[in-house]
Each structure stands twice: as structure tokens, then as C-alpha cells.
Amino acid sequence: MMKDKNIFFGKTIIKILTLLSVLSIQVMALSESEISTQMKINIDKTTNLLQNKEISFTNKTNQIFDTFDSIFDYVSMSRIALGREWKKLSRDQQNNFIHTFTLKLKQSYVDKLNLYTDEKVIVKKIEKIKINRIKLHTELVGQEEVYKIIYKFHKSKKKDEWLIYDVEMVGVSIMKTYRSQFKEYLLANSFDKLLTKLKTK
């Protein structure tokens, strides 16, 4: 049962991340007042793009990566994913991990892009939980099921610019999931082996 749940979770996570990655199209860092409205606009653009059979796979991926980096805080995502191990690394190792982990995430989006079918994402509400933390509550609506997804934003060092640092689906944080996996792997393996694994798997 747990295995089946993990398989489902993995496939659905990729669909969410694929949708989320395309949300960055035509979006620069968002101001607080823009988060809900702009995300809704780009969700609609995203679903239209993914449903368009006339656009080639290469063209879709190119559109994703045109402005892919503008909405994600990959440095924070990398630090969260490594947890306490992050501070044990040298500056060069940290930079190497950021680069490798970012490429891994992007490649995962591209590899699973064709998993998208006809799901819709509906923006429900925005919640400011701290002065520098915002949650955007949404729902992924499929043919049979509805899944709650929360996009987690934090305020960058620049004035009123907000970036995504995590996504929570059905109560599970993607970054915390990575952190758990990496922590377990590093108990028996070196950091260099982790980098190699991320590059090759």
C-alpha cells in the first residue's frame, strides 16, 4: 500500500512541478500584491500550453526555460534539501550542489512533461503566515480526484520580491521529502557520491 502511494505521489509531484515550472513564463519576481492574480493568469496560460498539440515538445521546454529561474529560489531550496549537511560543506561544495540539484529538478520537469493530461489548477486563497512568508492555496482537479497544493513563497532580500522555496502537496513538503532522502543516503555515502547520483540518475 505504501509503495503504491509513493508511486502515485511521485508521478503527481512531477505533474505539479511541471505545471509550476511553466508558471514562470512571462513572470519575473512577484510582488506580494501580484502573487494570487499573476499565478492564476499563468496557470491558465500553462494549461493551454500543455494541452496544445500543435506546439512541439522542444518548443514547450524552451518556453519553460526562457524564464525558468525567475520564480524559484534555488539557493534556499538547496539549503532546505540538505538540511544540517549544508553547513558542513565548503563554499565550492555548496555552489556545486546548487548547480547540480537545480539541473536535476529541471531535468525531472522535462522528462515528465508528457505526463500532463487534463488536470486543472484552481487558485483558492492566499495566506500570509509571517511577515516574510506567504502560502498560496490551490487545488489540482483531475477527472476523479482533487488534491490540495500549497505554493510556499518567501520574501527575498530585494524589496517586495517573492519567490517560491517549496511546494506542499496533500500535506507533504517536496523539499522536506528531498531532505529526508538525502539525509538517509549521506548516512552511508559521501557528499561526492550524492552529487554523482544526482548527475546520473
CB 126 within 8 A of CB 137: yes
Q: Tell me the pLDDT of the chain (201 aa) as tens digits.
A: 434 334 334 555 555 555 554 444 444 568 888 888 878 877 777 677 777 788 887 776 666 666 456 788 889 999 999 999 999 999 999 999 999 998 888 777 666 665 666 777 788 999 999 999 999 998 888 777 888 889 899 998 777 789 989 988 888 898 999 999 999 999 999 999 999 999 886
Render the burial of 165-196: b for 16+ CB within 10 Å, e for the rest.
bbbbbeeebbbeebbeebeeebeeeebeebbe
Give me the half-sphere count of Cα atoms (radius 13 Å) on the Cβ side of residue 67. 12
Radius of gyration of the chain measured on its C-alpha atoms: 17
Which strands make up the sheet holding 172-173, listed edge to edge? 120-130, 133-141, 146-155, 162-169, 172-173
CA angle 121, 127, 129 (to 5 degrees): 135
Listed by start position, the domains of the chain span 2-200
pLDDT score of 115: 64
Return the H-helix or E-strand segment holding 4. Answer: helix 2-22
Cβ atoms of 36 and 127 within 8 Å: the answer is no
CATH number of the domain at 2-200, out of 3.40.462.40, 3.40.50.300, 3.40.30.10, 3.10.450.710? 3.10.450.710
Q: What count of other Cβ atoms lies within 10 Å of the Cβ of residue 144?
A: 5
Looking at residue 117, its pLDDT comes to: 67
